[in-house]
Amino acid sequence: MNEEIVRIAAKGDGVTETGRHVSGAVPGDILLEDGALERGAHYVDPPCQHFSRCGGCQLQQADEDALRDFVTQRVLGALEGQGLEPVEVLPTHLSPPHSRRRATLHAMRTHKGAVIGFREAGSHTIVDLRECLVLRKELTEQIQPLRGLISKCAGKGAVDIGMALCDQGVDLSLTNVALDNLEATEATLDYAREHQLARLSIDQGFGPETVWEPEPVTISMPGLPVAMPVGAFLQATCDAEDVMIADAREWLDGASPVADLFAGLGTFTFGLTKGRKVLAVEAERATHLACKNAAGRTGGRAFAIHRDLFRNPLQPEELNKFGGVLLDPPRAGAKAQIAQIAASTVANVVYVSCNPSSWARDAAKLIEAGFRLQKLRPVGQFRWSTHVELTSQFTR
């Protein structure tokens, strides 16, 4: 019997109504009795030559409607798993092609030169990229010339290549590159100079060391530039960041002061300082110090403290001083901190998440404490991947 594909599962397979998983299928496709697929209206030809091998994308075969629906249902499905539903679901935001401003690629020296790219799914094999439709052009332009540098300077084994677009240009960091002779050192510095890098950092096994930085590297947050430590976290795309900051501003309108938990470099902190004071709390030391330095230039509207919210979450008596709380934790969620928020008198919480599953778990705890999930927006800033994010507002 033929079966129609009705949804896309969390890892990217198409799923029939009876629960059969089919690799590469999208809603509307028909799984025929012989196992072949009859393509439906939501299937499109993948635009990248590397798709199906490269592990960077899983959903290039889905059209815009199917992709948007996948992102939406990933979030709503996690919520339904907890028996919950939001008051309002806002339009899903999808980042466009060529919008991602940070990535980690992998490289390896070969007898013919070097290969550079993402790894195949579930494998250590590197797909040698000739194009990438996800990354910003400024990043993809580094791939071809980097082959020459890797072929000269890489050690045995894989090289990790951290790439990020900052205010001054491309910030590049490399592991497993040995600067143990004059030729390698000169080749590395020549590369940075010729390609006008904002910064080049090399990790020779003792942590990243900056070898090129003509001027201090910064990343612009709303209202001011913030020093950017090597490897600091950035939202993947500027367009998604703008949408998430706008949601936070609207939902926390009138709330003062605000605590920004897991604040990072201050993406939300500095977007919320107009007309109120914001406390930024961050555990990673270099990131905290960069945020603290920038906070000192806000005229007393932003303050930063160094604190590990997993081991030492803000307590109810501390939280009760705030008119609102924003949190943007890592993928594990914020179980310990959410328990303290639930026990506090805080009435307005904005939760930004990169993991619908841990977020839904934490959402259930807030709702148990009397909150309502007022607003919810799914965000797909990792285009064509199964990685999904969201913004949400809880009030009581």
Distance from C-alpha of 310 to C-alpha of 320, rounded to nearest angstrom: 19
Pick the catalytic residue: 132, 153, 291, 354?
354
Which of 256, 174, 165 shows the shortest CA–CA distance to 219?
165
Distance from C-alpha of 224 to C-alpha of 295, rounded to nearest angstrom: 9
| In 176-271, beta strands by DSSP E | 199-203, 208-212, 218-221, 224-227, 258-261
pTM, 2 dp: 0.95
Residue 206: the pLDDT is 84
Q: Label residue 121 by pLDDT band (50, 70, 90).
A: confident
Residue 251 has pLDDT above 90, yes or no: yes
Residue 17: the pLDDT is 92
Interhelix angle 182-194/137-153, rounded to 10 degrees, is: 170
**Distance, CA of 178 to chain centre:** 30
* Contact present, 43 and 28 (Cβ < 8 Å): yes
Residue 212: the pLDDT is 95
Residue 156 has pLDDT above 90, yes or no: no
**Distance, CA of 219 to chain centre:** 16
From residue 240, how far is each of 86, 110, 248, 391 by CA, in Å?
21, 38, 12, 10
Which of 107, 6, 100, 23 shows the shortest CA–CA distance to 387?
100
Residue 303 has pLDDT above 90, yes or no: yes
Residue 223: the pLDDT is 80
User: What are the percentages of helix, strand and coil residues in the chain, rounded to 5?
Assistant: 25, 30, 45
Clarify whether 238 is annotated catalytic: no
Region 361-386: what's the mean pLDDT? 97
Region 45-52: what's the mean pLDDT? 95
| Residue showing tokens 């619908």 | 356
CB atoms within 10 A of CB 87: 11
CB atoms within 10 A of CB 34: 6
Distance from C-alpha of 165 to C-alpha of 280, rounded to nearest angstrom: 24
Region 218-243: what's the mean pLDDT? 95
Region 131-144: what's the mean pLDDT? 96
Distance from C-alpha of 392 to C-alpha of 75, rounded to nearest angstrom: 11
**Secondary structure class of 181 (helix, strand, coil):** coil
Residue 184: the pLDDT is 82
Tokens for 380?
């797909």
Dihedral sign of CA atoms 361, 364, 368, 371 in order: positive
Distance from C-alpha of 171 to C-alpha of 215, rounded to nearest angstrom: 12
Distance from C-alpha of 248 to C-alpha of 261, rounded to nearest angstrom: 13
Q: Label residue 1 by pLDDT band (50, 70, 90).
A: confident
Residue 180: partners with Cβ closer than 8 Å, 6 or more residues away:
none
Residue, of 176 and 313, whose pLDDT is higher: 313
Question: Can you name the residues that pair with 3 across neighbouring β-strands?
Answer: 31
Q: Label residue 153 by pLDDT band (50, 70, 90).
A: confident
- Angle ∠(336,337,340) on CA atoms, nearest 5: 95
Question: Can you name the residues that pair with 15 across neighbouring β-strands?
Answer: 7, 21
- Averaged pLDDT of the chain: 95
Tokens for 135?
């990354």
Region 331-357: what's the mean pLDDT? 97
